[in-house]
Structure formats: C-alpha cells, structure tokens
Structure 1
C-alpha cells in the first residue's frame, strides 16, 4: 500500500490543523481559507488528504510522510541535545556507531519510527524518561539487543519508539538518560 493512502491518526489531523493555524497567523491564508482547510483536515482519512491541504505552504519541518536519513560509511552517526526529530528516521553506518539521544530533543510526534542499518557497529538509543520502545523488528546476527528497563508495550500518552533494522556484527541498546547528579 502506498504511504500516501495510509490512514491518518487524530494526532496527524491535529498537527496539520496547527500548521494551518500558524499559516493563518503569518498571513498566508485568509479566514475563509483557514475555515475550509481546517474542516477538511479534521475529517481527513489519508496522508494524501492532509498533504493536499499544506502543499502550497512553506515547509518549516519535515512534512507528513517524510523520512530523514542519517548515513555514515566509516564514522559515527550522532544526534543529541536540542534537535528536531522527524516522524521516520533511517540511520546507518558501515564501520561506525549510531548514537541517538532523544532526551532533550523536540519530538512533535507520539510515535517515532527508527530504521537502523549497521554492519560493524553498535547503536545506542537514549529515549526520554517515560517513553516506551519496541525493538521486536530489530535483528542482530552477532551482537546483543537489549532495553535497559525501557518497556516495550505502548502506553496511553507515552512517547512510543518503534525500532527496526539490522546489525550484522553489532548490537542495540535502548535506555533512559543517565541520572545527572549536581553538586553545589
């Protein structure tokens, strides 16, 4: 099935409505245009329906259905701190590691899909406190795959990471941020 024909969630509809309201506040849409598009956004069924409502607006973040790719042949792929997280992320390294720290990231989606492709390296994913991560779709031929006390079952209101992919000679660790101790 084409990704554009996939059914959308209430969250997808709400994010599109927020984008339309932002465009109205910037003067890009008139009040009647906003009203019409909001009605269509809140009753949209597929990603194609939503995309048609925002196609003529400037992109200020990855759009519905976008995939961001982070690839490195011989080094590490690393993201941490304050960074914008796309809905879908592909990360890979042939001879290096993947280190994705989501603890201080801006995550506008309830579900984040991560596809890993590793040959000779490990992946470490740090999720925000309270998030859950499903790693059932990840396989490792010669490495360990583990979650350090991070549950895998979806929970209402909890950020949900779905991690898929493979590592030939490496593994995957999903964990919460380390506790920071401050001294005065």
Structure 2
C-alpha cells in the first residue's frame, strides 16, 4: 500500500503552527533574520491557513538541527545529569517512579531557549539552572504538591530561558539557581 503525498494546500494543526513560530524565533535569536523580518514572518505564520503558506515562510530559514531533541527515561530509580553535559534544545524526561536531578549550572547550553518536558509518575525532581537563567514553568501540571521556585533577585535577561512543561503525579519539583 502506497501513501499519498501530502497536499501542500491542505490545512494544518496548531502543532505545525507552534513549530513554525519556534523556528522563526530561533532564527532571530541565532542572528539569521532581523527583528523586523521576524515580526513579518510571525505575522505570516499566525495568519497562514495552508501548508504551502507556512512552507513559504520557513523556506529560507536554516534547517532544524536533527540533534536538538533527546529523551531520558527510566521505569524507576534515579535519573541524574550533572557536570559538563550538552543540553539539547528539547529534553524529555520520563520516569514512572524515582528521582530526577538535572543540574544545568555547568552544562553546555547552546540554545537561547531550552524546553524540558517532565513526565513523572511518582517521586521528586530537582532542577538547578544557571545563575542568569530565566525560568518558566506555567505549563507544568502537578497532581499533588506545588512546585518550589524562588526567582533570583536582579536576574538579567541575558541568560537562557528554561521552559519546563509536562505532568507530575505525586512528588514535588524544586527549581533553584546555581550559586556560582
């Protein structure tokens, strides 16, 4: 059975639109397009109705890097990353039960925005972010305990933006900024 080629004139989903918005924003953050061009392209993405219109906005942008997504998973036990490790653009962490510890304070962060998706059943998680990081976790759904996070006083806007999303069943997420 052969599959039919995708019709570029057909409508697309919100995930496609979100991906296109992210690609335009990354192209701007990496210096490939100007602020005015980013605004114009975002307008075109947000008003596009077909794949063809969306593809025309993204055609001249650099291709997405293949190694920008990674998944760490364990049924139980401990998931731990610390020291000098390379943080992908998208990091998905999955654990049925156990502890998760991610230390980004000495990690190599090559992207202006890092998305961390947590899919945790039970157990706690702790994430240490760089001193100058900006943290957003409003898309994280917790089932039992609230997230603990105390923003740094006087933190600038030069650091990476760490966006944490996903779901945690039973357990607590603690986020803290590195001291050094």
Q: Which bin holds the TM-score, normalised by the shorter protein?
A: 0.5 to 0.7
1:112 partner SS: strand
The TM-score normalised by the length of structure 2 is 0.66
Structure 2 gaps of 5+ residues are: 1-14, 33-55
| Distance in 1 of aligned mates of 2:59 and 2:91 | 18
Q: CA deviation at 1:148?
A: 2.8
- 81, 84, 90: which one pairs with 1:82? 84
| Distance in 2 of aligned mates of 1:67 and 1:76 | 21
Question: Where does residue 11 of structure 1 map in the other structure?
Answer: 29
The TM-score normalised by the length of structure 1 is 0.65
| Distance in 2 of aligned mates of 1:118 and 1:99 | 12
Question: Where does residue 58 of structure 2 map in the other structure?
Answer: 46
Aligned 8 A contact 1:148 1:173 in 2:
no
| Distance in 1 of aligned mates of 2:59 and 2:172 | 34
1:167-178 paired onto structure 2 within 5 Å: 167-178=168-179
Structure 1 gaps of 5+ residues are: 15-43, 53-62, 180-184
The structure with the largest strand share of the pair is 2
1:107-118 paired onto structure 2 within 5 Å: 107-118=109-120
Moved over 4 A (4+): none
Task: Tell whether 2:117 aligns with 1:91.
Answer: no
| Distance in 2 of aligned mates of 1:91 and 1:70 | 5
RMSD: 2.7
| Distance in 2 of aligned mates of 1:47 and 1:74 | 43
- Number of residue pairs matched by the alignment: 138
